[in-house]
Structure 1
Amino acid sequence: MQVTIGEELMLLSLDDESGVAKEAASAGWAVAGGILADLVLAGRVTVDDGRLAVADRTPTGDPLLDGRLDRLAEWADRKADEKAAGKAAGKAADRVAGQAKASDWLTRDRPTAVRDAVQRLCERGLVTEERHRAFGLFPVRRYPEADPTVERELRERLAAAVLRGEDPDARTATLIALIHATRLYRLAFPDLPRKEVEPRFAAIAAGEWASGPVGEAIRNTQAAIAAITVVTAATAATTAVIT
């Protein structure tokens, strides 16, 4: 079964037995980035110097990607209209506001990306939804694993590339680059110390596994996610100190 990179990252985050998302904040960025990266690999979106553009609006045939492509295209069109209006009015601030930045899209898309990825995993029968109320009051949803075959194959691909030094294909390398950008090494290899796997993650992320515009777009996406997660972590740390 072929699943999207965003779904693969969601599978890594969800605890197999409890269905609770591990490292949920960082995983959310990774999932949003994974969906965007799949659209780049499919030739539907470009990311150049941190800015997004829709290159082809033809559906991919995957419901998760096509739903996101429609939303992204609508958002990019709105940004283009804002930029045009800013230019017509001669307002520099409006021209800046009208830029379709990858970081802005990822920030906007993260909550719905996680929700949609989980929903798609449920539709595929890979996880099952369980609902209950915490303390009898608050609704809680959990997504324990129902079919382990896809995650097992996923972890084997990661082990082959990271632990055994095999050359990954572009899709697996993209997945590894996103894990590296969000520092989610423990989701991929929960039993290994970070120092044992991080160098290989970094080497693959910086490698020449995808050349030309596609490779550059993936690296731009990776850089945008890495920058966001650094700012988010710093903000959280500052808030903790203040409170």
Structure 2
Amino acid sequence: MRSDTLIVEDVMLLLLDDERGTPAGAGTLHYILGGAMLVELALRGRIETDDTSRPGVNGAKVLAVGDGPLPDPLLQAAYDKIARRPQGVQTVLLTIGAGLWKPVTERLVERGLVRSERKRVLGVFRTTTWPAEDTRHEAELRHAIHAALEGGESPDARTAAVIALLSSSGTLPALRPALAWSAEVSARAKKFENGDWGAAAVSTAMTRHAAAITASSAAVSITVITTIT
């Protein structure tokens, strides 16, 4: 499996329909991608949550920690936004997730994982889609997810994070090939969503906590948006 992609790239790749090139959960994409960045920063030890603050509507506050530059410009940009001042997790999800789909899809195109296709709808409206190009990395991601949810295998922290984010966003059923849904598979997905990663992140309690609050905040926001629309 590739080791040079960010979690946000893997999540976006899985959300994109291989043939149509459109993302699942498009209406709440900013929360999903923002959550992926938040968990990546937690895995790298660059954010913490303020457990002494009252969660409230906006969630626990996210704090930037650590010194030195990050190895990726997308991560650095997200970190810099968080470092300006402590903010609630839902605000952070919007702040770092808004518009993130564009640079992420551009990176997937540059990596040769998807291709960019511009079309006209009804001969008037221009639209861009990103159908699959090289599916090998995506197939490995899907295999790891299936192994964890259907086979009960213990995944690495990155795979656990991807499962948590897809589960919280409600897009896990959009995976193709589809998961063989059962009570056991549903229960395992919910555990990942709640931050119960087992042996996958023994030394990253902060990451599990960040994933849990990200998932719960995204789920609440998605529910509100769905209700409104």
Q: Same fold (TM over 0.5)?
A: yes
What letter corresponds to residue 134 of structure 2 in structure 1? Answer: D
Asked which structure has the greater CA Rg, the reply is: 1
The answer for unaligned runs of 5 or more in structure 2 is 52-59
Q: Offset at 1:234?
A: 3.1
Where does residue 55 of structure 2 map in the other structure? none
Where does residue 96 of structure 1 map in the other structure? none
- Aligned counterpart in structure 2 of residue 180 of structure 1, from 158, 167, 171: 167
In the alignment, the residues of structure 1 paired with residue 21 and residue 225 of structure 2 have an alpha-carbon distance, to the nearest angstrom, of: 28
Contact 1:33–1:221 (CA under 8 A) maintained in structure 2: yes
Report which of the two has the higher share of helix.
1
**SS of aligned partner of 2:8:** helix
Contact 1:39–1:65 (CA under 8 A) maintained in structure 2: yes
Where does residue 79 of structure 2 map in the other structure? 69
Flag the 1:206–1:129 CA change in 2: closer, same or farther, 3 A: same
In the alignment, the residues of structure 2 paired with residue 52 and residue 40 of structure 1 have an alpha-carbon distance, to the nearest angstrom, of: 10
What letter corresponds to residue 168 of structure 1 in structure 2? Answer: P
Contact 1:44–1:58 (CA under 8 A) maintained in structure 2: no
Contact 1:47–1:218 (CA under 8 A) maintained in structure 2: no
Q: Offset at 1:65?
A: 1.9
Q: Alignment length, in residue pairs?
A: 215
Q: Offset at 1:57?
A: 4.5
- Aligned counterpart in structure 2 of residue 234 of structure 1, from 212, 224, 228: 224
In the alignment, the residues of structure 1 paired with residue 30 and residue 181 of structure 2 have an alpha-carbon distance, to the nearest angstrom, of: 20
Contact 2:164–2:211 (CA under 8 A) maintained in structure 1: no
In the alignment, the residues of structure 1 paired with residue 67 and residue 129 of structure 2 have an alpha-carbon distance, to the nearest angstrom, of: 34
In the alignment, the residues of structure 2 paired with residue 219 and residue 227 of structure 1 have an alpha-carbon distance, to the nearest angstrom, of: 12
Q: Offset at 1:223?
A: 2.2
Contact 1:64–1:120 (CA under 8 A) maintained in structure 2: no
In the alignment, the residues of structure 1 paired with residue 146 and residue 226 of structure 2 have an alpha-carbon distance, to the nearest angstrom, of: 32
Flag the 1:102–1:154 CA change in 2: closer, same or farther, 3 A: same
The root-mean-square deviation of aligned C-alpha atoms, in Å, is: 2.3
Identity of aligned residues (%): 30
Contact 1:16–1:144 (CA under 8 A) maintained in structure 2: yes
Q: Offset at 1:174?
A: 1.7
1:127 aligns with 2:127: no
Where does residue 25 of structure 1 map in the other structure? 27
- Aligned counterpart in structure 2 of residue 148 of structure 1, from 135, 151, 175: 135
- Aligned counterpart in structure 1 of residue 206 of structure 2, from 205, 211, 216: 216
Q: Offset at 1:15?
A: 0.7
The TM-score, its normalising length taken from structure 1, stands at: 0.78
What letter corresponds to residue 55 of structure 1 in structure 2? Answer: V
Q: Offset at 1:203?
A: 2.9
Contact 1:48–1:220 (CA under 8 A) maintained in structure 2: no
What letter corresponds to residue 34 of structure 1 in structure 2? Answer: A
User: Could you tell which deviates more after superposition, 151-160 or 108-117?
Assistant: 108-117
Flag the 1:116–1:8 CA change in 2: closer, same or farther, 3 A: same
